Amino acid sequence: MKAIELELFRHLLTSIAEEMGVVLRKTSYSANIKERRDYSCAVYDSRGETVAMGDHMPVHLGAMPLSVSAVRQAFDLQPGDVALVNDPFRGGTHLPDITAVAPVYTRGGKKPAYYVANRAHHADVGGMSPGSMPLAREIYQEGLRIPPILIRRGGKMDRDLLALVLANVRTPLEREGDLMAQLMALHRGEVRLLELTAKYGEPSVRRNMRELQDYSERMMRATLRRLPRGSYRFEDYLESDRPEGGLLAIRVAVTIAGDSATVDFTGSSAQVDGPVNANLAVTTAAAMYVFRCLVAEEIPFTAGILRPVRIIAPEGSIVNARPPAAMAAGNVETSQRITDVILGALAKAAPDRIPAASCGTMNNLSFGGLRPDGRPFAYYETIAGGMGASIQGAGHNARHTHMTNSWNTPVEAFEHEYPMRIESYRVRKNSGGAGSHRGGDGIVRELRFLVPAEVTILSDRRTRGAYGLAGGKSGKPGRNMLITAARQREIPAKTRFEITAGECLRIETPGGGGWGGPKLTRP
């Protein structure tokens, strides 16, 4: 009966996080949330530790507990309070990701019994470029930085504070709509947790939350015990945003010692004066994702997963940058490379369990300008690529993989919302790496601008393809092309430029790595 009860609570709590996500999506204003689903929702215990997550964005979900912790340290949250935070040095990841946190008080409770939180990527939070994903040198250029603040106190909105936030963004109506959607999602989570408590009793809910965390820990330790002891090293690289090019190293040593593991990034490149720096929250999220994937069984995605795992990320490095480092691409690009190197190291310990590298970039595209009627617009999207192959089979084509779990924006929704036309949207044939199992193919997405706009691209894997494993070949690197009436030219992986009406931008995303020797490669 105990196992049945625990499984029941796992599904009940997960369904609350999932329902929060549905509310957020259905009440939001922006295409980035309602179409791309760039958001995450989770439930936390009285200590602010994760007990349930929706099937949302790994880079959000693994980092959100640090935001919840920052809010709990800043405020003694009372009933009806809602806090916001996006500061990467207070548990955030990058500035467009705004986290909302609320306490849940049960009847007669003097302290929160639980917490609910969500994180949503806002398509603009100010800064030097539309879409707030600029080629910045320090965080002050990237947009509005929000330490833990109370946007709602005792159920009443702080309209002055909201006005301050909206005055610093290019699309205030859309931002206000998305923020209100986040608050509605928190309310739904609170209502459902109180219903759960009324039905089963607070002691039972709390006990099962603890047991879910403990169960995740036990399963993680059991998985680690099955791996051979030893230290496994791997390194991979990010492409610099500097005109002269260059590579930035991410190095890891994963040490398996019985039922525990250490993930040590000593030797990784120092932080840079560009946007590819990651913080400890991002690095932790990547580690949590990879180690959860190691467990063959379906287990609760809780704080217990990382209890057996120690993370060493030297302060001042590209995986744990100090203020005032720029962070826009750390969340979306560096997180993918951190994932790649941890997987690459673990492939030496469990070669039959780990896939070849996936495309390794979110192919971030942001732009903004004025509509024909003079209203401003700002847009952000990520574009999928090829998935790495594995011993089980070929990699999937055109997939968002690893730290992202968003959708591709549908053509109809995109063209309805923005002064743009999609000229081509197709699979990039034969971009996956060769092998007995081929890597998945990337995407070709070609956009024609109908008005002048400012464009920023933050992408990677443009010079080095996604690595193969077990004799498989690397996937084909990606490519960014600017197409004008006069010519086509390749543009850098990370760049900002002005585009005129009628010109096209074509993004060709990388393929995934192949798995296994080429002898059995299909034609």
Both tokens of residue 10? 């796992």
Q: How many residues does the chain have?
A: 523
Phi–psi pair at 145, nearest 5 degrees: -100, 120
Whole-number Cα distances in Å, 453 to 144, 368, 373? 22, 5, 14
Name the burial class of residue 478, with classes exposed (0-12), middle (13-18) and buried (19+) by CB atoms within 10 angstroms of its CB: buried
Who contacts 208 (Cβ-Cβ below 8 Å, separation ≥6)? 5, 6, 9
Whole-number Cα distances in Å, 167 to 127, 161, 172, 499? 12, 10, 7, 26
Task: Dump the DSSP string for 363-430.
Answer: -EEEEEEE-TTS-EEEEEE---BPPPPBTTBPPPSSB--TT---PPPPHHHHHHHSSEEEEEEEEETT
CB of 434 closer than 8 Å to CB of 440: no
Whole-number Cα distances in Å, 286 to 280, 336, 342, 403, 470? 10, 8, 9, 7, 23
Residue type, 60: H
Distance of CA 125 to the CA centre of its chain: 17
SS (H, E, C) 24-64: HHHHCCCHHHHCCCCEEEEEECCCCCEEEECCCCHHHHCCH
Instruction: Tell me the pLDDT of the chain (523 aa) as tens digits.
Output: 588 999 999 999 999 999 999 999 999 999 999 999 999 999 999 999 999 999 999 999 999 999 999 999 999 999 999 999 999 999 899 999 999 999 999 999 999 999 999 999 999 999 999 999 999 999 999 999 999 999 999 999 999 999 999 999 999 999 999 999 999 999 999 999 999 999 999 999 999 999 999 999 999 999 999 999 999 999 999 998 876 678 999 999 999 999 999 999 999 999 999 999 999 999 999 999 999 999 988 889 999 999 999 999 999 999 999 999 999 999 999 999 999 999 999 999 999 999 999 999 999 999 999 999 999 999 999 999 999 999 999 999 999 999 998 988 889 999 999 999 999 999 999 999 999 999 999 999 999 999 999 999 999 999 999 999 999 999 999 999 999 988 999 999 999 999 999 999 999 999 999 999 866 544 3
Q: List the alpha helices (DSSP H) in 227-332.
A: 280-294
Q: Determine the Cα–Cα distance for residues 461 and 442; give it in Å rounded to an integer.
A: 12
Q: Residue 233: its pLDDT value, please? A: 99
Q: Determine the Cα–Cα distance for residues 397 and 471; give it in Å rounded to an integer.
A: 20
Q: Residue 297: its pLDDT value, please? A: 82
Gap between the terminal Cα atoms of the chain: 54
CB of 289 closer than 8 Å to CB of 402: yes
> Hunting for tokens 């929160």 — which residue is that?
112
Both tokens of residue 98? 């705004």
CB of 236 closer than 8 Å to CB of 344: yes
Query: Checking DSSP bridges between strand 309-312 and strand 260-264, what pairing results, if any?
Result: parallel
Q: Residue 1: its pLDDT value, please? A: 54
The C-alpha torsion from 289 through 86 and 495 to 324, rounded to 10°, is -100
Sign of dihedral through CA atoms 400, 215, 231, 334? positive
Q: Determine the Cα–Cα distance for residues 341 and 289; give it in Å rounded to an integer.
A: 13
Q: Residue 519: its pLDDT value, please? A: 60
Q: Residue 373: its pLDDT value, please? A: 95
